[in-house]
Chain A
Amino acid sequence: MSSETQTSSQAGRPGFIWAVPAVLFFGAFAVLPMVAVVYLSFTTYGGLEAPVWAGLDNWKRLTTDPLVVNSLWLSAMLTLLSWLVQTAIALPLGVYLASKGRMRSLLAAFFFVPLLMSGAAIALLWSTLYDPNFGLASIIGPLIGVEDGNFIGNPKLAFYSVLLVIAWQFIPFHTLLYQGAARAVPVSLYEAATIDGAGRFKQFTAITLPQLRDTIVTSSVLMLVGSLAYFEIILILTGGGPGAATRILPLHMYITGFRGFDMGYASVLAVILLVLGTALSLVITKVTGFRKMASQREGL
Chain B
Amino acid sequence: MSALAELDLASVQDRIQTEVQRAIQRSIKGVEYFSTSGPTLGSTPKDILHSRGTMNLYHYRPMAKEVYRVPVLIVMATTNRGYILDLVPGQSFIEFLLKRGYDVYMLDWIPPKPEERCLGMEDYVLDFIPDCIRRVQQDSGEQDISVIGYCFGGVLSLLYGSIFPDGPMRNLICFTTPIDFRKLELFSNFADRRYFDVDHLVDSVGNVPPEMILSSFEMLRPASRVVGQVQLWENIWNDEYVKSFRMFDRWATDTLPLAGEYFRAITKDLLWDNKLYHGTMSVGGRPADLANIKVPILHAVAEHDHIVPYDAAKHLIAKVGSNDKEEVMLKGGHVSLVAGANAVKRLWPKLDSWLGGRSI
Query: Do chains A and B interact in one complex?
Result: no
* Interface set of B (CB-CB < 8 Å, partner A): none
